[in-house]
Amino acid sequence: MSTEPPGAVRDGRRTLQYFGWLTLLVYLVTPVGYLIDIQTSYLLKNQLHASAAEVSTFRLLTALPVYFAFVFGLVRDSWSPLGLGDRGFFLIFGALTAAAFMWMAVSPPSYSGLVVSMLLAMVAFRFVSAAYGGLIALVGQAKLMSGRLSAVWNIVSTLPVIAGAFTSGYISAHLGPRQAFTLAAAGALLIVLTGLWKPVSVFAGLHGQPAGAESFVGRVKRLVKHRAIYPAILINLLWNFAPGANTPLQFYLTNTLHASDSVYSYYIGIFVASFIPTFVLYGYLCKKVALDRLLWWGTIFAVPQMIPLALIHSGTAALVLAVPIGLMGGIATAAYIDLAMRSCPPGLQGTMMTLVDGVLVLSSRGGDLVGSKIYSSSPEHGFLYCVIAITVVYALILPLIKLVPKDLIASRDGEENPALQAAQFEPG
């Protein structure tokens, strides 16, 4: 039975509901998500007759704002649009994102036009993402619920990935690019409407520092000097690096094991869906167990996560093993995002969370490149070497946990923690 007052329990549930809705919209609308990426790639390939190299170049160019995501976080932490803080970002940049998607929907398709419009959508949406990440981290620190918010974030953000993995073929066959871009624009407009919503359970008691009270350079210096960010960033970097879990696995399934192309897509869907039960478990455990223990438990379970892949001899076996593989990674994933939220410097929540976001993308792309080279190094044992590399990389997370400031992770969700309370804005 909960020992929290009924009012606090009710406010906590409303806060989780608010961020559940906001997270779903953010991950459905994001230009790097399945809805947009799949349709854009088919538009390039089938209507504009782009080569594989041109499609890859398009993805590289249009993802540039993601690589510099921390810049958008710094802007978020320095500016309050319309005097509304994060809600102002949702209103202004949600509308600009919708406009960019509508331009893509109504304009005659061309390679250069698609690059420009997608870049505009990417830039506008980076501000939305910075506001979302900064707000969820700030509320997590202020209301001592970073663990539960991490669980909600991870659960809800996986739903579009699961849907995309299982319905990508159907979507491509029945939903044209114009319709997909129009739906994305509608989703962005829902984010605009969310900017008009100010639930007391979320925003009451949050303090903001006046814009201009600290110089841009001063914020950067303070970020660099905040030692708690380094283990959090490095842990998330190593966790997403995973050399071999993407392209090498796809090639291993289709070329070596002669599975159909759909098996890899189904594997991703099952793998991601299998995280959800442990995300739910984390939402319960974080209120009972301090974060330091959850970090150790989650990492110890996660280190051998990919070893079962070395044992597969068919596509069917890969689909079966996707379940335990996914289950082994859920606690670690939620704990690492929980740690990132707790590690945000005072007033720099947006900068820290967008920095983590950029690191996750870069490490994933870098790990895939390294894994592809390892895989190609040996026709017979290349994939086994990839599995070994992933296991070694994950094991390197263990010593990094010792570098995390102990007072930051010594408390449970909802338990008073001076280190977290100090990481909020003081009234201006």
Residues 143 and 236 in one domain: no
Residues 164 and 237 in one domain: no
Does 211 reside within a domain?
no
Average pLDDT, the chain: 88
For residue 268, give the 3-state DSSP assignment: helix
Cβ count near 240 (within 10 Å): 21
Query: Is residue 76 predicted with pLDDT exceeding 90?
Result: yes
Query: Is residue 345 predicted with pLDDT exceeding 80?
Result: yes
Residues 195 and 228 in one domain: no
CATH number at residue 263: 1.20.1250.20
Residues 42 and 180 in one domain: yes
Residues 282 and 396 in one domain: yes
State the pLDDT confidence band at 394, using cuts at 50, 70 and 90: very high
Nearest to 8, CA basis, from 145, 132, 134: 145
366-386 pLDDT, tens digit each: 888 888 889 989 888 989 999
Residue 422: its pLDDT value, please? 64
Q: How far apart are CA 265 and CA 62, in angstroms?
A: 24
Residue 428: its pLDDT value, please? 32
- Full residue range of the structural domain in which residue 327 is found: 223-413
Q: State the average pLDDT over residues 268-283.
A: 95
Does 418 reside within a domain?
no
Residues 254 and 387 in one domain: yes
Cβ count near 135 (within 10 Å): 25
Q: State the average pLDDT over residues 184-198.
A: 95
Q: How far apart are CA 150 and CA 332, in angstroms?
A: 11
Residues 121 and 238 in one domain: no
Query: Is residue 209 predicted with pLDDT exceeding 60?
Result: no
Kindly write down the DSSP assignment for every residue of 28-96, as one continuous string: HH-TTSHHHHHHHHHIIIIIS---HHHHHHHHHHHTHHHHTHHHHHHHHHH--GGG-THHHHHHHHHHH
Cβ count near 275 (within 10 Å): 25
Query: Do 356 and 234 meet the contact criterion of CB atoms below 8 Å apart?
Result: no
92-115 pLDDT, tens digit each: 999 999 999 999 999 888 888 899
Residue 215: its pLDDT value, please? 79
Query: Is residue 157 predicted with pLDDT exceeding 60?
Result: yes
Does 217 reside within a domain?
no
| Tally of structural domains, the chain | 2
Residue 84: its pLDDT value, please? 93
Residues 250 and 368 in one domain: yes
Residues 380 and 263 in one domain: yes
Residues 128 and 184 in one domain: yes
Query: Is residue 261 predicted with pLDDT exceeding 80?
Result: no
Residues 160 and 228 in one domain: no
Higher per-residue confidence, 192 vs 258: 192
Helix (H) or strand (E) holding 403: none
Does 235 reside within a domain?
yes
pTM over 0.85: yes
Q: What is the DSSP letter of 108?
A: P
Burial class (CB in 10 A: 0-12, 13-18, 19+), 8: middle
Residue 54: its pLDDT value, please? 78
283-307 pLDDT, tens digit each: 999 999 999 999 999 999 999 999 9
Does 216 reside within a domain?
no
